[in-house]
Amino acid sequence: ACGPSAGTPSDSASGSSSSAKAKARTLDEIKESGELKVAVFSDKAPFGYIDKDGKNAGYDVYFAQRLAKDLGVEVKYTSVDPAARVDVLTSNKVDVVLANFTVTDERAQKVDFAKPYMKVALGVVSPEDAPITDVSQLDGKTLIIAKGTTAETWFEKNAPNVKLQKYDQYADAYNALLDGRGDAFSTDNTEVLAWAKSNKGFTVGITKLGDEDTIAPAVQKGNKELLDFINDEIVKLGEEDFFHKDYEETLEPVYGNEANPDDIVVEGGEVDD
Amino acid sequence: MSGADILLQPGVLPRLLQGLWVTVWIAAVSVGACIPVGLLVGWLMTLRNPVVRFLMRIYLDFIRIMPQLALLFLAYYGFARWFDWNLDATGACVLVFILWGGAELGDLVRGALQSIPEIQSESAYVLGLSDWQSFVHVILPQALRRLLPASVNLATRIVKTTSLAVLLGVVEVIKVGQQIIDANRFQYPNGTLWIYGVIFFMYFIVCWPLSIVARRLEKRWAND
Amino acid sequence: MTEQNGDAAALSVRHLAKQYANANKRVLDDVSFEVPKGRVLVVVGPSGSGKSTLLRAIAGLEPIQGGDIALGGEVIETGRPGSEKAGRSARSSELRTRIGMVFQSYDLFPNKTVLGNIMMAPVLVLGRDKAEVEREAIELLKRVGLADRKDAWPHELSGGQRQRIAICRALILHPEVLLFDEITAALDPEMVREVLDVMIGLARAGQTMVIVTHEMRFARAIADEVMLLEDGRIIERCDDPERFFTQPETERARQFLRTFEFERAGHDKP
Amino acid sequence: MTEQNGDAAALSVRHLAKQYANANKRVLDDVSFEVPKGRVLVVVGPSGSGKSTLLRAIAGLEPIQGGDIALGGEVIETGRPGSEKAGRSARSSELRTRIGMVFQSYDLFPNKTVLGNIMMAPVLVLGRDKAEVEREAIELLKRVGLADRKDAWPHELSGGQRQRIAICRALILHPEVLLFDEITAALDPEMVREVLDVMIGLARAGQTMVIVTHEMRFARAIADEVMLLEDGRIIERCDDPERFFTQPETERARQFLRTFEFERAGHDKP
Amino acid sequence: MFDWSFVQRYAPFFVNGALMTLFICAIGIALSLVVGLICAGIELARIPVARQLVRVYIEISRNTPLLVQLYFLFFGLPKLGVVWSAETCAIVGLGFLGGSYMAEAMRAGLEAVPEVQRETAYVLGLSPWQSIVRVVLPQAVSSAIPGVVANVIFLIKESSVVSAIALADVMYMAKDLIGMYYNTYESLFMLVISYLVILLPISLFGLWLERRFDYERR
Ligand SMILES: Nc1ncnc2c1ncn2[C@@H]1O[C@H](COP(=O)(O)OP(=O)(O)OP(=O)(O)O)[C@@H](O)[C@H]1O
Ligand SMILES: Nc1ncnc2c1ncn2[C@@H]1O[C@H](COP(=O)(O)OP(=O)(O)OP(=O)(O)O)[C@@H](O)[C@H]1O
Ligand SMILES: [Mg+2]
Ligand SMILES: [Mg+2]
């Protein structure tokens, strides 16, 4: 192990060994090492963030903890930027990515996705006094996005007239929106809804954009053993309505009763509509 | 201003300090490891062997012309694939700082060794000192003196450059600051100003003494 | 070590030839001379005539391409044709201590005190006892009038003081021959005097020396023999310095010596 | 400009007092002397005696605290007590061109060629015609034997050549007095000779000069008057250089001159 | 393995990124030269209070990382009601950082002119202005150029962090392509090439400039 810790569990990046093979670890190797290395967001409340005490928390984290518990190991978190999610897997910096990772074709070529545990579409949040309610309104305007998100890909492909202002990190993107550096911000609708609820003066003018997508855990390409384990786990957890519980613990405090959990949560890996 | 209270929140300053510690740790490890690398590189650069010279030139010029951030990206994303060698973000930072610092220090070492007048080693030869004695007792001590001020400056630059680690996702002082800003956004909307202000100041407090030391050394040894 | 012949010259140079790499001309060409024990040879000559090269070759700092150099009858260096690019002579440490050399400048080690400079070689090379060496060093410092500066650093000393220390540093090895290369060229006149006085003291005490200098009055005072070098050849050698400086044999020597004389400007006074 | 008195000395210094800021002692104390037109004054003295300071004060580079300096009878500088920290004298450009000065080293402008160096002041300051100045510059260069180097850059010249160019640069302004501060101290003997020969030529041509030098033979050859300075005071002044150098009046002068004499080492020859 | 078609498709991105890098750097470096000149002037003229302020500025600017300076300008200042565009922040940041480096290089250049050069000019009758313009400045420029050139290259390299405030420079393009298409290899390759293309000519030009203004070598 190399490197000191900044006191948060999320910095496993600096706690893990600094060099290893880029080949994924087997289930046995994970169990033997006693820890599951998971990539999560550290600035995307309420899905993956650092709370006031400096601890990782959120919907993804709740799942990660359970996954590790059922494996009989501890979790080691690595915080990632959206754009780094594929590379942390290909270079074997983590075993699993649980960072609101939307399943797309491009990504599926590089990593293996397990069964989904959430569903999303894109949403657009904008200031209340100049709301954006349709994509056409964005023509010639500046849209803030985070690099490496599905929102980026969607707007690059479908809205060539929108000026994109891209940040490495969600936190920077939100700050930019607060400081009025762009006309709107787009990312997963779950995410913008949550954010608009807790930030006065902002509204989600577009709640559903593009295809409905799913969010799933991802492992390194070809790591079938771990993939199968996670798939089994998701099916098993579906029987106990685990993700609804997760929702109650982490998302409900934010969304309150305005949202229907079934719009977000996927149980047992089965998207029902 | 109300926002300043964010600094008094329990845990905020300690966490920032812990973040700073990560920063300083990366810098310290890198600087420490740079020293042997730099001495070796410097020595290699004084050799007359054309192949060694050419290789060192390429190494030095490439490292010098690439922005450190680009080097960090190469190490973090590139190395794992090219050499099937996996580095975490901290490891990549340390590796880059060692390669970069080693090259810079190597050039300083070369300059220092070559700046020692030939007559010094000639005097040692005439007095009967062996080559090794002459190097250890005469050349090296003088080279180190000329080297030290610039090396301390290099250390300052390495500390400053550790700030780039945040862009690879290392949880160091800047990242901790961003997490704090994020977690306290509603109570302290002005948090960015204060937290970034404090981080700014923290870097200054780490680097400034080094600059002063470098300047002192330079003055003291300039006229010897 | 071969046994030393009591009658042999302290230093003898025979048919010495020296050429620098990348040069197409010899810098020293068939130079032969001897310096008997206890005598002082002064080498003079215009700039570029090869004086420094001669001393450096004797000290082993330059490879030679022909001839040989002997110390007390023992040949210590033999010319090797084609050795222009070779480095310093591979002669042993012990052998090197038998020839002392003082340069024009910069040759004290700035990272050692005065005593450190003087004691370094006897302790490191000859393995002599520290305390004993220190006693001797202080004796030497007294002789050159600098006993009170024994703990000073070189940069705290004036140029003249530094050169006197450099002389002590060479002397403590009891060299059979001492070589001096324009050691006062960079000094103020008063300092020049301090240093030259020390050298005159050494000559009186019977130290064998080869001195390169541009101070003709000093040369005249200290020399047992004078040698005029030009373009790497010996133009004139004379064991009567008075005669050399007043009535040299060759035209070239006369001409050389005139450089140091001035005729009255003799413009009309009002 | 006040009219010049035909009988007045070219340069006269009266009761000159000079003290450096942050020093508690005067560097020049009540120094008075005159240099008649066409004559050469040589100033000698040990290091630190104030020779350079004296020349610099005359040239206006150092503020003076007492006494005055006159050029051809016209007072150009008057001492002001308390002016230690003042900068250079505020004298006019035109006045400055009437005194020339050559320093020990580094004083050619490296960014100008030889001709550029020489022509700068007459063109810029006196507004003279370029073509005419160039003709005169080439004349001067011929006089010092460097006409073929007129387009060279200073760094391409030897030290002796540089100093001769510096002399030309001063001469082209036709200064009433020329000041030389050890201009050969950093040169090799042969170069020394080249430069000193030029100065002897100037003396013959009747140029008024004040020369600081450590070359006693040269001083003896060129001086009309000699002045020995020590600790900022004039110890001895003599308008018969022969006498000064052979039988000086003061004990201090005798002692000073002895620095430049050597007695035969006189050790026993085998 | 290596996808040339990807490189062909996205090379224009890097051209745009390089133009942004050059645009920011050109203005930022020009600003740093102005700031440096003013600071060096103040220090040399020994203007009492301004001189202390310049010292403080130089210490602060040299001892803090550009990235933190940028975060402060971009995210911190808006809380004081000062909202600068990313371009402005980057230019101000480069000017602020570079100003102190340029000031030091220029001061060193001026101090490298030996006092005897000014004295000679004085003795020859040159006015203070003539002495500065004809004697001191040409020499000062000559000895300051290597330092200034080194600083220019340093600043261009430092400018790679402006991607953190969403400026579409070369670095930004590389990260963007990695994040969108995961062609890490090709993106890194184009990144390296872009910087070589920007920096190699500049550093060669710098060498030429040094030689051109070195009175001892031209
Ligand atoms: N390292 C070298 N490589 C090539 N040529 C050299 C080297 N050192 C000296 N020379 C040349 O050899 C000749 C003799 O030089 P040397 O230094 O021995 O002369 P010198 O008599 O000591 O002169 P000076 O009185 O100026 O010290 C000169 O022509 C010089 O240019
Ligand atoms: N700028 C200065 N500030 C303070 N003291 C100075 C300054 N310049 C010279 N001095 C002192 O003034 C005295 C006279 O110095 P000056 O240079 O005139 O002597 P000098 O006779 O020219 O000596 P030298 O033969 O070594 O050139 C010395 O004691 C010197 O230390
Ligand atoms: Mg020589
Ligand atoms: Mg002087």
- Exposure string (b/e) for E13-47, b if CB count within 10 Å is 16 or more? bbeebbebbbebbebbbebbbebbebbbbbbeeee
Spatial separation of the C-alpha atoms in residues B192 and B181, rounded to whole Å: 6
Tens digits of residue pLDDT in A209-241: 888 889 999 999 989 999 999 999 999 998 989
Residue E1 binned pLDDT confidence (cut-offs 50, 70, 90): low
For D111, nearest residue in chain E (alpha carbons):
E215
C-alpha distances out from residue D199 to C171, D12, D102, D143, Å: 43, 21, 12, 11
Residue E191 lies in a domain: no
* Residue E1 within any structural domain of the chain: no
C242-251, D214-223, E30-39: which is most confident: E30-39
Q: Cβ A166–E166 below 8 Å, yes or no?
A: yes
On the question of pLDDT at C256 being above 90, the answer is no
User: Is the beta carbon of D53 within 6 A of some atom in ligand 2?
Assistant: yes
Round to whole Å and give the CA distance between E134 and A41.
Answer: 63
Inter-chain residue contact B81 with A90, CB threshold 8 Å: yes
**E strands of chain D, at which residues?**
11-19, 26-35, 40-44, 66-71, 74-78, 99-102, 177-181, 209-212, 225-230, 233-238
Atom of ligand 1 nearest to the CA of C51: 21
pLDDT-based confidence at residue A272 (cuts at 50, 70, 90): low
- Identify whether E11 is part of a domain: no
* Strand boundaries in C231-269, DSSP class E: 233-238
Q: Whose CA is nearest to atom 29 of ligand 1?
A: C48
Cα separation, D57 vs B51, whole angstroms: 60
The distance of C230 to chain B (nearest Cα, Å) reads 25
**Burial of C131 (C-beta count, 10 Å sphere; 0-12/13-18/19+):** exposed
- Between the CA of D126 and the centroid of ligand 4 the distance, in Å, is 30
- What crossing angle do the helices spanning E184-213 and E137-158 adopt, rounded to 10°? 180
Smallest CA-to-CA distance from E57 within E72, E42, E79 is with E42
- Tokens matching residue A4: 């000191």
- The C-alpha atoms of residue D126 and residue D94 are separated, in whole angstroms, by 7
Average confidence (pLDDT) over A157-168: 90
- Sorted by sequence, the CB contacts under 8 Å of residue D90 that are 6+ apart come out as none
Which has the closest alpha carbon to B192: B8, B49, B31, B6? Answer: B6
Mean pLDDT over D60-67 rounds to: 94
CB contact under 8 A, E64 and B197: no
A181-209 residue pLDDT tens: 999 999 988 888 888 888 888 999 898 88
The minimum CA-CA distance between B146 and chain E, rounded to whole Å, is: 18
The domain B3-220 having CATH identifier 1.10.3720.10: the answer here is yes
Cβ-contact B92, B76 below 8 angstroms: yes
Residue E187 lies in a domain: no
Taking each helix axis from N to C terminus, what angle separates E86-111 and E48-62, rounded to the nearest 10 degrees? 120
Q: Which residues of E touch B26 (CB under 8 A)?
A: none
pLDDT at E218 over 80: no
CB A81 within 8 A of CB A148: yes
Q: Does C204 contact D at CB distance below 8 Å?
A: yes
pLDDT value of position A15: 34
- Asked if A116 contacts A269 with a C-beta cutoff of 8 angstroms, the reply is yes
Angle, helices C130-143/C114-124, rounded to nearest 10 degrees: 130
Domain ranges of chain B: 3-220
Instruction: Please count the residues of chain C.
Output: 270
Instruction: Let me know: does C107 contact C154? Beta carbons within 8 Å.
Output: no
pLDDT of residue A273: 55
- On whether the CB atoms of residues B3 and B191 are closer than 8 A, the answer is yes
Strands D11-19 and D99-102: unpaired
Reduce the DSSP state of residue D178 to 3 states and report it.
Answer: strand
Residue B1: the pLDDT is 47
pLDDT above 50 for E210: yes
| pLDDT at A79 exceeding the cut of 70 | yes
What is the pLDDT at residue B80? Answer: 65
The answer to whether C189 faces chain D, any CB pair under 8 Å, is yes
Which residues in chain B show pLDDT less than 50? 1
* pLDDT value, residue A153: 87
CB of D25 closer than 8 Å to CB of D19: yes
Region label for E126, one of left (φ > 0), alpha (ψ between -120 and 50) or beta (otherwise): beta
Q: Are A65 and A48 in contact (CB under 8 A)?
A: no
Which of B84, B169, B183 lies nearest to residue A21, judging by beta carbons? B84
Decide: D210 and D180 in contact? Cβ < 8 Å: yes
Query: Nearest CA of chain A to the CA of B222: how many Å?
Result: 38
| β-strand partners of C17 | C66
B abuts E (3+ Cβ pairs < 8 Å) = yes
Using the predicted structure, report yes or no on whether residue D177 has a pLDDT greater than 50. yes
Name which of D155, D98, D161, D156 is nearest D126 in CA terms. Answer: D98
| Chains in contact with E via at least 3 Cβ–Cβ pairs below 8 Å | A, B, D
Residue E72 is predicted with a pLDDT of 93
In single-letter form, the type of residue at position C52 comes to S
Average model confidence (pLDDT) across chain A:
85
Taking the Cβ of residue E72 and every Cβ of chain A, the question of whether any pair is shorter than 8 Å is answered with no
| Average pLDDT rounded to a whole number, residues A89-102 | 88
Query: What does the alpha-carbon distance between residue E215 and residue E211 come to, in Å, rounded to a whole number?
Result: 8
Other Cβ atoms closer than 10 A to D84: 16
Q: Among residues E64, B165, B196, which one has the least CA distance to residue A4?
A: B165
Domain hosting residue E139, numbered range: 22-165+200-212
Helix or strand (DSSP H, E) at C99: strand C99-102
Report whether pLDDT(D269) > 80.
no
* Beta sheet of D66-71, edge-to-edge order: D26-35, D11-19, D66-71, D74-78
* Residue A6, token pair as written in the block: 């900044």
Is position E8 within any domain? no
Q: Is residue E152 part of a domain?
A: yes
**Atom 13, ligand 1: which residue's CA is nearest?**
C48
Ligand closest to C190 (CA) is 2
Scan for tokens 């020779």, then name that residue.
D51
pLDDT tens digits, residue range C174-212? 999 999 999 888 787 778 888 888 888 999 999 999 999
Q: Backbone phi, then psi, for C157, in 5-degree steps?
A: -105, 155
- CATH number of the domain encompassing residue E35: 1.10.3720.10
Q: How far is B126 from chain E (nearest CA, A)?
A: 35
Q: Does the structure show a pLDDT above 70 at A3?
A: no
Please name each of the domains of chain D with its CATH number.
11-258 (3.40.50.300)
**Helix or strand (DSSP H, E) at C32:** strand C26-35
Q: How far apart are CA D226 and CA E48, in angstroms?
A: 47
Question: Is residue D165 within 8 Å of D108, Cβ to Cβ?
Answer: yes
Span from the CA of E36 to the centroid of ligand 2 (angstroms): 36
Q: Which of C197, C198, C202, C196 is nearest to C214 (CA)?
A: C196
**For helices E170-181 and A150-158, angle between their N-to-C axes, nearest 10 degrees:** 100
| Radius of gyration, alpha carbons of chain D | 19
- Tell me which residues have their CB closer than 6 angstroms to ligand 1: C 20, 23, 27, 45, 47-53; D 188
Which of D62, D109, D114, D118 best probes binding to E when mutated, by most E CB atoms within 10 angstroms? D109
Residue type (1 letter), C234: I
* Closest-CA residue of chain A to B11: A53
Please list every residue in chain C whose beta carbon sits closer than 8 Å to the beta carbon of residue B223: 155
Question: Which chains contact D through at least 3 pairs of Cβ atoms less than 8 Å apart?
Answer: C, E
Domain count, chain E: 1
pTM of the predicted protein model:
0.85
Q: How confident is the model at residue D258 (pLDDT cuts 50, 70, 90)?
A: confident
CB atoms within 10 A of CB C200: 20
Pairing between β-strand A218-220 and β-strand D233-238 as defined by DSSP bridges: unpaired
Q: Phi and psi at residue A120, in whole multiples of 5°?
A: -145, 160
Predicted local distance difference test score (pLDDT) of residue A22:
63
Chains B and D touch (3+ CB pairs under 8 A): no
Judge whether E180 lies within some domain. no
Residue E218 falls inside a structural domain? no
Q: Is the peptide bond before A4 cis (omega within 30 degrees of 0)?
A: no
CA distance D60 to chain C (A): 26
Q: With beta carbons less than 8 A apart as the criterion, state whether C180 and C211 touch.
A: yes
Smallest CA separation from ligand 2 atom 3, residue: D20
Top mean pLDDT of A17-26, B72-81, D43-52 is at: D43-52
Mind listing the pLDDT tens digit for each residue in C46-60?
888 999 999 999 999
Chain B residues 143-162 within an 8 A CB cutoff of chain E: 156, 160-162
CB contact under 8 A, C265 and D196: no
For the CA of C62, the nearest ligand: 1
For residue A138, the 8-state DSSP code is G
Angle at D220 between CA D214 and CA D226, to 5 degrees: 80
Reading the block at residue B6, the tokens are 């964010």
CA atoms within 13 A on the CB side of A247: 20
What per-residue confidence (pLDDT) applies to A216?
A: 93
Q: Please, what is the average pLDDT of chain E? A: 91
Token pair 């004695």 is found at: B133
Q: How confident is the model at residue A7 (pLDDT cuts 50, 70, 90)?
A: very low
B160 contact residues in E (CB cutoff 8 A) = 63-66
